[in-house]
Structure 1
Amino acid sequence: MGNETINRKKGVNVPEKILGVGRSLMSVKGFSAVGLNEILKEANVPKGSFYHYFGSKDAFGVAVLNSYFEDYLAEIDKILNQKEVTMADCLLMFFVRWQERQAFLECKGKCLVVKLGAEVADLSEPMRLTLQHGTVEIIKRIAKAINNAVKEGTLEDKGDSYTVAESLFQIWLGASVMVKLDKNIQPFESAMLTTRQLLGLSVS
């Protein structure tokens, strides 16, 4: 009896299992350093199953990123759509959560944009486009939250909300890279200070 048959009998979703293993490994090692055999061994599935579901490692990388963004965007929506707090506070909570997700000691399985962005941009056009689409969706959600905060009166109107959101995303993306390089959270502290200034919030 093959591994895939055993997995099915146990009620295991084989492609989801492979994606989960790949996502975890790539968040630590990157895309190129993770070999197919390592993924298959960790997931305990045969090579034929991999190619049945994904076709190639490149296609697998796209699937991993799509899975990552699906989960991440759902988490963002949950943070930014809370009813019991103001929209300005929701935005700050989002960036606090960003810091928690991207902390250099807690990054396993969580930081694929930071981990893979620069690496795959020149290696895989499909993966680059998937990363680009996912980051645009993140920025759109930040911009929408800024607009909603302006409407409820908890933020001042600073003009084009998408431009502000894009700037904030870039600041935090850069801070995430610096945190990994420095092994220190100070870049996040600077990012939060700049965030409050861009949003017109008091700086404590």
Structure 2
Amino acid sequence: MSTRDKIVAAGRRAMLEQGYEGTGLGPLLASIAVPKGSFYHFFASKEAFAAAVLAAYAGQYRTQRQALFAQADVSPLARIERHLLQLEQDTLAEGNVAGCLYGVLALAAPGLGGELRGKLNEVFACWETDLAALIEEAQQAGEVDAGLDPREAAAHLIDCYEGTVIRARADDPAAAFARFRKFALAALGAGAKGPTGAPLS
């Protein structure tokens, strides 16, 4: 692993565990035995560093998401459910985290510069776009209420997920994620009609 990649990986861990504002560059670099001079060789500032961490994190999850969403042998609604399950598994696998990195940076957004806030908005929008396309596919299959706006529904699911991650830190994580999946899927399917036009039970 290159020095830059080591710093980015350490930044991911630190920001997920301590939040953006709680991540100090000194302790982070000391934990991986990298001098500050090397850090500033790669990153002009802490915000530029956070942008690199965000880009790596978002790229990993978009690749995973697109592979799952492309599984044409699985129904669209089942793919949405698998996506929600994957989010849960990935979040819990991170251990003692402050939340999804998107949410972690969103909490710090009032104090961030415009460029980093813009990148954060871009990754949220990208997630919404991917999920909205799958919701629209599920509508065409009669699995999701055709009256829903796919983009709004996708944004709502993401908002609920970010809130679930916060609640999971304070309470029973399994119960928090189970509630999220149950009500998210129920809301999508409410009013949906199957291929014959009959309401889905």
Smaller-chain TM-score range? 0.7 to 0.9
Contact kept in structure 2, 1:58 and 1:124, CA below 8 Å = yes
The equivalent of 1:5 in structure 2 is none
Does 2:21 match 1:45? no
Does 2:61 match 1:90? no
How far does the alpha carbon of each residue in 1:127-180 deviate from its partner, in whole angstroms, 9 at most, with x for none?
322222111111111100011222344434233111111111111211111111
Cα distance in structure 1, aligned partners of 2:70 and 2:96: 25
Spell out the pairing of 1:56-95 with structure 2 (5 A cutoff). 56-95=45-84
Name which of structure 1's ranges 106-115 and 183-192 shifts more when overlaid on structure 2: 106-115
The equivalent of 1:121 in structure 2 is 109
Secondary structure, aligned partner of 1:122 = helix
Contact kept in structure 2, 1:101 and 1:107, CA below 8 Å = no
How far does the alpha carbon of each residue in 1:13-42 deviate from its partner, in whole angstroms, 9 at most, with x for none?
221111011111111111222211122222
Structure 2: which 5+ runs fail to align? Answer: 193-199
Aligned length in residues: 192
Question: What amino acid maps onto 1:122 in structure 2?
Answer: P
How far does the alpha carbon of each residue in 1:41-87 deviate from its partner, in whole angstroms, 9 at most, with x for none?
22322211111111111111111111111111111111211132111
Secondary structure, aligned partner of 2:72 = coil
Secondary structure, aligned partner of 2:157 = helix
Structure 1: which 5+ runs fail to align? Answer: 1-11
What TM-score results when the alignment is normalised by the length of structure 2?
0.84
Does 2:153 match 1:164? yes
Cα distance in structure 1, aligned partners of 2:93 and 2:177: 11
The equivalent of 1:200 in structure 2 is 189
User: Aligned Cα RMSD in Å?
Assistant: 2.5
Cα distance in structure 1, aligned partners of 2:98 and 2:58: 12
Q: Residues 92 and 35 (structure 1 numbering): CA distance in 2 closer, same or farther, change over 3 Å?
A: same
Name which of structure 1's ranges 59-68 and 174-183 shifts more when overlaid on structure 2: 174-183
Contact kept in structure 2, 1:175 and 1:188, CA below 8 Å = yes
Residue 109 of structure 1: CA displacement?
A: 9.6
Cα distance in structure 2, aligned partners of 1:22 and 1:48: 16
Residue 116 of structure 1: CA displacement?
A: 3.1
Contact kept in structure 1, 2:98 and 2:104, CA below 8 Å = no
Q: Residues 14 and 184 (structure 1 numbering): CA distance in 2 closer, same or farther, change over 3 Å?
A: closer
What TM-score results when the alignment is normalised by the length of structure 1?
0.83
Contact kept in structure 1, 2:7 and 2:29, CA below 8 Å = yes
Cα distance in structure 1, aligned partners of 2:173 and 2:140: 37
Cα distance in structure 1, aligned partners of 2:51 and 2:101: 12
Residue 90 of structure 1: CA displacement?
A: 0.6
